């Protein structure tokens, strides 16, 4: 579920629910509570004696302690197992920040582990963007009723207790604010080991969905970068846009009742996912890591309020890095809407001899058709400039088994990765589109390491690319063609593959009503 899900997916539904909007205008304008008390807190520093801190220290050679230890996690099941292992091993603190925590198998298992950690005396701070959290109100209130757990909702909608679509419609009088979402994804255990990247907490991010699964990327990190990530978390946690769940959701009984409701929902036990990096986190030996300098690019949380004169955004810093390229820029982004400014940057780069490659979703694989429509406006100009474009096929390749069993016929790209000059690797939550640039808050790591950049490139070019269509301009009539790899030879498509003409028509019509500013 991308950050654009809220606005893009709802856009088509809004057109069919104007009557409900009129009812919303007549229903009065809900407002957020005032005078909310927020206890200030910060990441723990007395963590050196914790098992995770000691594991991080024992995994770091003395001559590399000024660098950060890193591990790419492209496999969905391993990424979930790592998060659960960190929750189980934490002794002091768990700082958790996500755009979406779904009420499915993965969400229940994850929140249950947070509860169990708190029962051991671990301080748990859970920060979730409020847009999709309305369906979790009572459960989050029940989790917060446990000792040592604090739950805050970021940039909340003024309406609660309604279905997602209704909450949006009843909040349109605050559209400028509620359109801005916290898209960051982060877990920090004992201020010693962190997981950041593109994944939310839901089945489809960990290859557990029966209908569709996301191809994604996370990074496990130790060392100096973890302190930087904790500082980012603290800024969001202590922001005026972060509301304690108790200030928003009315309790329907005692704290004991709320706890029992949460415990009944979350269940007991669950499979212990002890493999890959999770097995190493559970050991007393060491982690297999690559050490490199790392920078944290993160938006100020005030960006979600629409405040002016903010520091450089995550997108600004990323574009500066790309402008410094000497030979090559490779971008993987599920939603890629460059805009006229981005097109100019690509033209300048190509004129300077820089190769640009972009990998994104096809219309058949995307969960955000309107974002694809925004990208399609620039598809032909990019190809004519010489940009190498490829789009993910919804049919997973045999090579995707290295990412995890998709358990479905539909694959979707969700990773946000870029490689510059085969040296700089960017992994984070940020899409290359206007929403990430102007509207949502984002965070990314920029890693200076040839080996990790090469590993990411190998993943993209040798494995992911086998499940992509390669795009080109037909010499005969200047139309875009999609070249699909096949065992019997490439198949050429003259329109978006594996979608009906009606779907293309519907997208064309809807795109006329949605400004690029919303994409």
- pLDDT tens digits along 76-100: 999 999 999 999 999 999 999 999 9
What is the DSSP secondary structure assignment for residue 287, as one 8-state letter?
-
Looking at per-residue confidence, does 509 or 322 come out higher?
322
Greatest mean pLDDT among 26-35, 63-72, 305-314: 63-72
* CATH, domain 40-281, list 3.10.560.10, 2.60.20.30, 3.30.870.10, 3.40.50.970: 3.30.870.10
The alpha carbon of residue 295 and the mean position of all alpha carbons in its chain are separated, in whole angstroms, by 18
**Tokens, residue 301:** 């949380």
Which residues, 6 or more positions from 10, have their beta carbon under 8 angstroms from its beta carbon? Answer: 164, 165, 168
- The fold for domain 295-518 equals Endonuclease; Chain A (3.30.870)
Question: pLDDT averaged over the chain?
Answer: 88
Nearest residue to 131 (alpha-carbon basis) of 185, 183, 96: 183
Confidence of residue 12 (pLDDT cuts 50, 70, 90): very low
State both tokens at 119: 């029962």
305 neighbors 332 (Cβ within 8 angstroms):
no
Cα–Cα dist 340/302, whole Å: 26
Tell which wins on pLDDT, 437 or 152.
Answer: 152
* CA separation for the pair 132, 182 (Å, rounded): 11
- pLDDT value of position 167: 86
Return d(Cα 500, Cα 502) in angstroms, integer.
5
User: What does the block give as tokens for 416?
Assistant: 């946000």
Question: Is residue 93 classed as helix, strand or coil in its secondary structure?
Answer: strand
Q: How confident is the model at residue 476 (pLDDT cuts 50, 70, 90)?
A: confident
Tell me, yes or no, if the pTM score tops 0.85.
yes
pLDDT reported for residue 464: 59
pLDDT at 1 over 80: no
**Among 124-128, 313-317, 392-396, the range of highest mean pLDDT:** 124-128
pLDDT of residue 13: 43
Q: Is 310 a residue whose pLDDT tops 80? A: no
The average pLDDT across 118-142 equals: 95
Q: Check residue 504 and give its pLDDT.
A: 83
Predicted local distance difference test score (pLDDT) of residue 362: 95
* Residue 455, burial from CB neighbour count under 10 angstroms (0-12, 13-18, 19+): middle
Q: How far is it, in rounded angstroms, from Cα 148 to Cα 142?
A: 13
* Mean pLDDT value of segment 440-461: 94
Topology agreement, domain 40-281 and domain 295-518: yes
Alpha-carbon dihedral of residues 315, 318, 324, 329, nearest 10 degrees? -110
Stretch 308-324: mean pLDDT, rounded? 80
CA distance 410 to 278: 27
Report the percent of the chain where pLDDT is more than 70: 88
Report whether 294 contacts 194 (CB < 8 A): no
Q: For residues 497 and 393, is the Cβ–Cβ distance under 8 A?
A: yes
CA distances from 245 to 111, 115, 150 (A): 15, 16, 8
pLDDT at 5 > cutoff 70 = no
Orientation of helix 255-266 relative to helix 105-119, angle to 10°:
130
Contact 191, 232 (CB under 8 A): no
11-21 mean pLDDT: 44
Mean pLDDT score, 490-518: 82
Q: What is the rounded CA–CA span in Å between residue 465 and residue 474? A: 21
Higher-confidence residue of 398 and 229: namely 229
| pLDDT score recorded for residue 512 | 76
Calculate mean pLDDT across residues 182-206. Answer: 97
- Where residue 383 falls (left for φ over 0; alpha for ψ -120 to 50; beta otherwise) is alpha
- Using CB atoms within 10 Å of the CB of residue 147, give its burial: 0 to 12 exposed, 13 to 18 middle, 19+ buried: exposed
For residue range 336-364, what is the model confidence (pLDDT) as tens digits?
999 999 999 999 999 999 999 999 999 99
Given this model, what pLDDT does residue 28 score?
56
- Separation between Cα atoms, residue 79 and residue 82, nearest integer Å: 5
Give 259-283 pLDDT, tens digit per residue.
999 999 998 766 677 888 999 998 8
More confident residue, 222 or 485: 222
**Residue ranges of domains in the chain:** 40-281, 295-518
């Amino acid at each position: 579920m991308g950050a654009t899900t809220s606005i893009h997916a709802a856009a088509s539904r809004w057109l069919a629910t104007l009557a409900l909007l009129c009812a919303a205008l007549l229903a009065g304008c809900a407002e957020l509570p005032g005078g909310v008390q927020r206890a200030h807190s910060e990441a723990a520093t007395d963590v050196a004696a914790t098992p995770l801190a000691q594991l991080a220290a024992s995994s770091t050679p003395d001559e590399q302690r000024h660098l950060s230890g890193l591990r790419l996690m492209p496999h969905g099941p391993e990424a979930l197992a790592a998060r659960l292992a960190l929750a189980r091993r934490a002794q002091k603190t768990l700082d958790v920040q996500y755009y979406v925590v779904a009420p499915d198998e993965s969400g229940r298992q994850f929140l249950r582990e947070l509860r169990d950690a708190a029962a051991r005396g671990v301080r748990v701070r859970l920060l979730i963007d409020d847009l999709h959290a309305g369906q979790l109100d009572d459960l989050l209130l029940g989790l917060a009723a446990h000792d040592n757990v604090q739950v805050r909702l970021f940039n909340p909608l003024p309406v609660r207790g309604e279905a997602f679509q209704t909450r949006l419609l009843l909040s349109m009088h605050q559209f400028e604010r509620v359109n801005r979402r916290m898209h960051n994804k982060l877990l920090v255990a004992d201020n010693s080991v962190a997981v950041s990247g593109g994944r939310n907490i839901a089945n489809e991010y960990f290859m557990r969905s029966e209908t569709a699964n996301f191809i994604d990327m996370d990074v496990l990190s130790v060392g100096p970068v973890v302190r930087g990530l904790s500082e980012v978390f603290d800024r969001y946690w202590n922001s005026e846009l972060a509301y304690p769940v108790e200030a928003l959701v009315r309790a329907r009984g005692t704290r004991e009742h709320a706890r029992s409701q949460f415990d009944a929902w979350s269940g007991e036990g669950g499979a212990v996912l002890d493999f890959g990096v999770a097995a190493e986190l559970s050991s007393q030996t060491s982690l297999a890591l690559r050490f490199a300098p790392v920078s944290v690019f993160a938006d100020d949380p005030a960006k979600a309020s629409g405040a002016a004169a903010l520091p450089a955004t995550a997108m600004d810093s990323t574009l500066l890095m790309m402008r410094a390229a000497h030979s090559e820029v490779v971008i993987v982004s599920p939603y890629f809407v460059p805009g006229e400014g981005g097109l100019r940057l690509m033209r300048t780069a190509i004129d300077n001899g820089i190769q640009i490659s972009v990998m994104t979703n096809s219309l058949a694989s995307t969960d955000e058709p309107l974002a694809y429509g925004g990208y399609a406006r620039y598809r032909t100009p990019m190809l004519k400039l010489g940009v190498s474009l490829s789009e993910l096929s919804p049919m997973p390749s045999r090579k995707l088994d290295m990412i995890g069993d998709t358990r479905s016929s539909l694959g979707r790209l969700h990773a946000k990765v870029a490689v510059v000059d085969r040296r700089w690797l960017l992994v984070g939550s940020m899409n290359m589109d206007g929403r990430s640039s102007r509207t949502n808050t984002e965070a990314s790591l920029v890693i200076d390491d040839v080996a990790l950049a090469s590993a990411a490139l190998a993943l993209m070019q040798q494995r992911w690319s086998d499940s992509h269509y390669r795009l080109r301009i037909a010499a005969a009539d200047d139309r875009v063609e999609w070249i699909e790899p096949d065992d019997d030879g490439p198949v050429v498509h003259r329109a978006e593959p594996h979608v009906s003409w009606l779907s293309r028509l519907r997208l064309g019509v809807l795109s006329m009503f949605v400004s690029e500013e919303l994409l």
